[in-house]
């Protein structure tokens, strides 16, 4: 038995994979001949708990061999791009039905086929559906008990307004096209701009710093892409803390907890804000990235025509690519200066609130998640972790 320990109203919001799982479960139950249940009990992977999640509607389609479930994502934050997103989950039996008794093969993991429909993000390099491991597991955990042995269920996920909304995100910068990525690492929404999230991260930071194995070094990574890169670099997971947009207060908290060496790893489009003294990086609160880049180019004495071109760029990524195509040496000079400025401004920010000797390093990656630039302290800290910058 699983305990239902929360009601829907207890959560500030739930992540997109949870709402997709609820719609898919409601549709699959209809396909199996069960009655429609508006409140779906969704099993969270690795937790003995089911969350009540409301589904808007579900219906069998004309042939009775297909069904659709519809839900609306409630992430708990009006400014979140997925809040209110309509979700369609279309399920059907594939024509090919697997039968282990006839084939002699183990089909235990061949019962679900996931299809990214209209509005769902895909990787531009291979066309594969962009979804997190948590999203895969929550779908499998809730759908597997409904699928008879020997059958293969096809689930097509559709976000009717996904393409439109994706144009307002940085998905394309990370190689995701055609719609919204189905990502998320937990059930409850983690609002990166909320004070509650800041409190939770500071609490975790303090726990790391009092651990008996803590040696004074900490790596703060910005978002899921930063976390993935840090893990691939081989940095020990116990030293990595994933953070949201509250960079400034976290730097001060780290200094207060006795951190001696702190490394920031993030996408250049995020960390560049620190070079402009913007230490809460949510895009709804502040931007100015192109202006910051242009200002650094002026201080570096880059040619006027280069400065004008940078100022007219649509994004930091396009500015980087354009300058690199014109003059690779100038491009490297500008980006190294940017990394150094991030380190300097971060140290100055902490210095406003307390006197400390914490060294702050910065390392930035591009849309391909290549770690290309780091400031002087960042280079030293990467060397400590035996990590190197990508050389083109």
Residue 188 lies in a domain: no
CATH number of 78's domain: 3.30.2110.10
Task: Indicate the pTM of the whole model.
Answer: 0.64
Residue 79 lies in a domain: yes
Q: Do 205 and 161 share a structural domain?
A: no
From 114, 147, 180, give the residue that closes a domain. 180
Residue 268 lies in a domain: yes
- 55 touches 72 (CB < 8 A): no
Alpha-carbon span 123 to 349, nearest angstrom: 37
Please give the structure tokens belonging to residue 153.
């269920």
Res 345: pLDDT: 95
Res 283: pLDDT: 59
Q: Do 129 and 267 share a structural domain?
A: no
User: Which structural domain, as residue segments, surrounds residue 37?
Assistant: 8-180
Q: How confident is the model at residue 8 (pLDDT cuts 50, 70, 90)?
A: very low
**Average model confidence (pLDDT) across the chain:** 86
Task: List, in sequence order, every residue forming a beta bridge with 40; answer none if it has no partner.
Answer: 53
Residue 96 lies in a domain: yes
Q: Do 115 and 79 share a structural domain?
A: yes
Q: How confident is the model at residue 77 (pLDDT cuts 50, 70, 90)?
A: low
Q: What is the mean pLDDT of residues 148-166?
A: 93
Res 391: pLDDT: 62
Residue 189 lies in a domain: no
Q: Do 361 and 316 share a structural domain?
A: yes
Tens of pLDDT, residues 45-58: 877 789 999 999 99
Domain count, the chain: 2
Q: Above 80 in pLDDT, residue 187?
A: no
Q: Above 70 in pLDDT, residue 392?
A: no
From 146, 180, 214, give the residue that closes a domain. 180
Q: Do 215 and 167 share a structural domain?
A: no
Nearest CA among 318, 294, 376 for reference residue 342: 376
Q: Do 347 and 245 share a structural domain?
A: yes
Res 17: pLDDT: 93
Q: Do 162 and 74 share a structural domain?
A: yes
Q: What is the mean pLDDT of residues 291-307?
A: 93
Q: Above 80 in pLDDT, residue 191?
A: no
Q: Do 248 and 122 share a structural domain?
A: no
Res 266: pLDDT: 93
Residue 69 lies in a domain: yes
Q: Above 50 in pLDDT, residue 215?
A: yes
Q: Do 326 and 262 share a structural domain?
A: yes
Residue 2 lies in a domain: no
Q: Do 333 and 205 share a structural domain?
A: yes
Res 232: pLDDT: 87
Alpha-carbon span 163 to 177, nearest angstrom: 8
| 77 or 341, which is more confident | 341
Res 12: pLDDT: 55
Residue 186 lies in a domain: no
Res 305: pLDDT: 93
Q: How many CB atoms lie within 10 A of CB 195?
A: 10
Q: Do 356 and 207 share a structural domain?
A: yes
Q: Do 254 and 167 share a structural domain?
A: no
From 180, 208, 239, give the residue that closes a domain. 180
Picking from 2-11, 103-112, 236-245, 300-309, which range would have the lowest pLDDT averaged per residue? 2-11
């Amino acid at each position: 038995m699983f305990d239902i320990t929360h009601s829907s109203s207890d959560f500030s919001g739930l992540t997109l994979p949870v709402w997709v799982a609820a719609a898919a479960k409601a549709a699959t139950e209809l396909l199996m001949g069960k009655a429609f249940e508006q409140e779906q009990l969704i099993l969270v992977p690795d937790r003995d708990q089911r969350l009540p999640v409301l589904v808007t509607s579900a219906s069998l389609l004309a042939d009775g061999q297909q069904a659709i479930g519809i839900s609306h994502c409630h992430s708990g934050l009006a400014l979140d791009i997925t809040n209110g997103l309509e979700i369609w989950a279309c399920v059907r039996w594939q024509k090919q039905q697997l039968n282990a008794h006839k084939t002699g093969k183990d089909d235990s993991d061949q019962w679900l086929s996931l299809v990214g429909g209209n509005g769902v993000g895909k990787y531009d390099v291979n066309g594969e559906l962009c979804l997190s491991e948590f999203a895969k597991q929550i779908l499998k955990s809730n759908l597997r008990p409904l699928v008879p042995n020997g059958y293969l269920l096809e689930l097509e996920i559709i976000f009717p307004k996904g393409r439109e909304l994706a144009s307002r995100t940085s998905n394309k910068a990370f190689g995701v096209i055609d719609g919204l990525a189905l990502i998320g690492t937990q059930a409850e929404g983690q609002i990166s701009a909320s004070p509650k999230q800041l409190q939770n991260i500071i609490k975790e930071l303090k726990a790391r710093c009092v651990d008996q194995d803590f040696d004074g070094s900490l790596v703060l990574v910005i978002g899921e892409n930063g976390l993935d890169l840090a893990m691939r670099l081989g940095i020990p997971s116990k030293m990595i803390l994933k953070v949201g947009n509250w960079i400034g207060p976290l730097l001060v908290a780290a200094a207060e907890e006795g951190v001696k060496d702190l490394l920031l790893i993030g996408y250049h489009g995020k960390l560049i804000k620190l070079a402009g003294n913007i230490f809460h990086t949510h895009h709804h609160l502040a931007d100015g990235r192109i202006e910051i880049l242009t200002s650094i180019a002026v201080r570096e004495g880059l040619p006027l025509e280069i400065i004008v071109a940078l100022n007219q760029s649509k994004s930091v990524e396009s500015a980087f690519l354009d300058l690199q195509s014109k003059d690779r040496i100038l491009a490297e000079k500008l980006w190294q200066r940017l990394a150094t400025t991030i380190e300097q401004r971060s140290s100055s920010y902490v210095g406003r609130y307390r006197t400390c000797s914490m060294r702050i390093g910065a390392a930035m990656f591009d849309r391909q998640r290549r770690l290309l630039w780091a400031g002087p302290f960042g280079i030293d800290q990467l060397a400590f972790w035996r990590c190197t910058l990508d050389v083109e």
